Structure 1
Amino acid sequence: MKKMLLAGIAIAMMATPAFAQTYKFVIVPKAMNNPFFDVARDGCLKRAKELGNVECIYKGPVEHEPATQAQIIQDFITQKVDGLAISVADVAAMTKSIDAATAAGIPVITFDADAPGSKRIAYIGTNNKDFGLALGRQLLQLKPEGGKYAVVSGGPGAKNLAERVDGVREALKGSKWVEVAGSPTFCNDDPALAVQQMADLRTATPDLGAIVPVGGWPMFAPEGYKAFVNKNKKDIEAGKLTLVVADTLKMQLELLRDGYSNALTGQRPFEMGEKAMDTLLAIKKGQKVPEVIYTGLDLVTRDNVAQLLK
């Protein structure tokens, strides 16, 4: 009887399909109060459901706090999850966290923001230098006569944002655009602070000709952002103030359609979430993955915004 029971167990094990093993993959954003990362989460959840043997766990700091992000990652290392996809808030802090996870046998990839000097296996997201170049070129195309401009950035320790700022500057180098003192400002991914910084920049330089946020933060506080634009509407309509903003979330496309910005340059966070699950699963299966996976950009003006809203 015992032999028959053991034989039955063996047959059951042989009959279990290989994909029955399930994996817990974690996507760790810079901040959970940033709607950009909500879109990456949605892509992650959709792809995990399609794969069937993957669970997508989404957790990060409520606000942009690199120390909290590091602690969250340490907690997941302790839990021995099967893989981590991290948007790097601070390169120095995250390099330590990524290397600690790798030492614990947990594969790590980055998305949206990278830490290339760490032991991460791959980066998924935007070519951030190209992103900045695209923002700068949009401004140059809209207003080739130039003027004074300022940049609003997020966290000072985020490599992806530094690359975007460099790209904006490179695109405008040699043109008639001049960056004002105090630019870039750093809002630490806080939407309300980003709006306030735009207002402060305009107050400090009344003839400021353009503001270029290298992330969508000010638009993520739509009421405050609209109030800022309404206050400066005459100058915007007269071409004296141009707003070229990063990202193309639905709320941003609606604001552009309604005349609250001149142009948007968009990333593809939904694809970042999807590809994060595919890449971590491939790594767990022992497959070789590309070290860099770019997800592309979308250039949006009032001419094509209706098409994207469809």
Structure 2
Amino acid sequence: MRKMLLAAVALAALTLPAMAENYRFAVVPKAMNNPFFDLARDGCVKRAKELGNVECIYKGPVEHEPASQAQIIQDLIAQKVDGLAISVSDVAAATRSIKAAVDAGIPVITFDADAPGSARTAYIGTNNKEFGLALGTKLKELRPEGGKFAMVSGGPAAKNLQERVEGVREALKGSKWEEISGSPTFCNDDIALAVQQMQDLKTGNPDLAAIVPVGGWPMFAREGFRSFASKFKKDIDAGQFSLVVADTLPVQLELLKEGYANALIGQRPFEMGEKSMDALLALKKGEKVEEIIYTGLDTVTPDNVDAMLKK
């Protein structure tokens, strides 16, 4: 009888579906006080819930601090998370951290900002050179007569931002636009500083015809940006001062609708968070993923801002 029972148990075990293994995947942004990454977090959490056997851990430095990001990655390695998705603040520092994770058997992908020479398996996010080209092309389209322009960037060691700056310059090369000395400024993802830098650029160069922030930082400070732009509202309305800004977060769409900018070129951070979970799960299953997964861009002007606000 005992042998028959054991045989029955063994047969039942063979016929039962295998339970899905649970995984803990960490998304590490450049800075947790940057609302852009809140959307990546939301996409990560949503997709993890849909998958059922995945937990999304969202952890990064409060402010843009590459050394802090590197330490957080080391802590996550020590906690033996099952996968890492990193928005790279500093390529050199992240390359070392990524190698440490891979050596520990943890798959790593990058999102938003890449470290292409590292041991990461894939990058999910924007084609940043095309992003910069789109920003510059939109400015040229709005103001073919040209003038002096400046850019505001984030961290000088972030490859994605370097590529955007290069793209803007490439788009405006040979046009009537001239970049001023001291451009770009670097706000290190500090939204208040980004607004102050825009003010300083305009104060120091009264004939400045356009400012192109290659990230949405200044507009994330709603009142500060509105205060700055309102001083030049007549010039913005008359096409004599142009603001073409990266990203399309809700606060930016609202400011654009109010007339405090001319155009936005936006990324898709929510989708980055979703796809990061899919890629890490595939890697844990031993599946291959594409090395480069672009999530696309959106161009928003006063003509289609209402439609974007409804999404």
- TM-score class, shorter-chain normalisation, is over 0.9
Which residue does the alignment assign to 2:124? 124
Q: Distance in 2 between matches of 1:234 and 1:148?
A: 18
Aligned Cα RMSD in Å?
A: 1.6
1:193 paired with 2:184, answer no
Name 1:288's counterpart in structure 2: 288
Given that 2:185 and 2:197 are in contact with CA atoms closer than 8 Å, whether structure 1 keeps it comes out as yes
CA contact (8 A) 2:237 2:259 kept: no
Give distance in 2, aligned partners of 1:212 and 1:115. 24
Relative to structure 1, the CA distance from residue 23 to residue 226 in structure 2 (aligned partners, 3 Å threshold; closer, same or farther) is same
**In 2, Cα distance between equivalents of 1:97 and 1:9:** 47
Judged with a 3 Å threshold, the aligned counterparts in structure 2 of structure 1 residues 180 and 20 are, in CA distance, closer, same or farther, namely same
Contact preservation (8 Å) 1:19, 1:53? no
Which structure 2 residue ranges, 5 or more long, are not aligned? none
Return the alpha-carbon distance in structure 2 between the equivalents of residues 28 and 6 of structure 1: 48
Extract unaligned runs of 5+ from structure 1: none
- The 3 A distance-change label for structure 1 pair 222 and 287 is same
Q: Tell me what 1:233 maps to.
A: 233
SS at match of 1:80: coil
Amino acid of the structure 1 residue aligned with 2:88? V
Alignment of 1:176-187 (within 5 A): 176-187=176-187
The residue aligned with 1:274 is 274
Partner SS, residue 20 of structure 1:
coil
For the residues of structure 1 that align with 2:104 and 2:57, how far apart are their CA atoms?
Answer: 19
Measured against aligned partners, the alpha-carbon deviations of 1:238-258 in whole angstroms (never above 9, x if no partner) come to 222100000001111111111
Report the alpha carbon displacement of residue 15 of structure 1 after superposing the two structures with TM: 5.9
Flag the 1:240–1:54 CA change in 2: closer, same or farther, 3 A: same
Distance in structure 1 (CA, Å) of the matches to 2:263 and 2:112 = 21
After TM superposition, list the pairs within 5 Å mapping 1:1-310 onto structure 2: 14=14, 17-310=17-310
What letter matches 2:223 in structure 1? Answer: E
Aligned CA distance change for structure 1 residues 266 and 2 (closer, same or farther; 3 Å): farther
Shift of 1:236: 1.5
Q: 1:22 to 1:253 in 2, by over 3 A?
A: same
- SS of the residue corresponding to residue 62 of structure 2 reads coil
Structure 2 CA distance, aligned partners of 1:44 and 1:162?
26
- Whether the 8 Å contact between 1:66 and 1:90 is mirrored in structure 2 is yes
SS at match of 2:199: helix
Distance 1:5 1:267, change over 3 A: farther
- SS of residue paired to 1:211: strand
| Structure 1 residue 237 displacement after superposition | 1.8
Q: Distance between the aligned counterparts of 1:134 and 1:109, measured in 2?
A: 26
**In 2, Cα distance between equivalents of 1:60 and 1:13:** 42
Cα distance in 1 for partners of 2:13, 2:199 equals: 65
TM-score using structure 1 length: 0.96
* CA distance 1:204–1:6, shift in 2 (3 Å): farther
Q: Distance in 1 between matches of 2:183 and 2:9?
A: 67
- Look up the equivalent residue of 1:79 and give its one-letter code: Q
CA distance in 2, matches of 1:248, 1:290: 26
* C-alpha separation in 1, matches of 2:269 and 2:142: 26
CA displacement at 1:133 relative to structure 2: 0.1
> 1:233: how far off?
1.5
Cα–Cα, structure 1 residues 229 and 22, in superposed 2: closer, same or farther, change >3 Å? same
Indicate how the Cα distance of structure 1 residues 18 and 210 shifts in structure 2: closer, same or farther if over 3 A, else same: farther
Instruction: Return the offset for 1:290.
Output: 0.3
Q: CA separation of 1:281/1:174 partners in 2, compared to 1, >3 Å: closer, same or farther?
A: same
Q: Which amino acid aligns with 1:183?
A: S
Which residue identity lines up with residue 219 of structure 1 in the other structure? M
In 1, the alpha carbon distance for the partners of 2:9 and 2:192 equals 60
Flag as ranges the 4+ runs of structure 1 deviating above 2 A.
Answer: 1-20
Give, in whole Å, the separation in 1 of the partners of 2:3 and 2:31: 56
Tell me how far 1:232 sits from its aligned partner.
1.6
Amino acid aligned to 1:52: G
Counterpart amino acid of residue 29 in structure 2: P
2:150 is paired with a residue whose SS is: strand
Q: TM-score under structure 2 normalisation?
A: 0.96
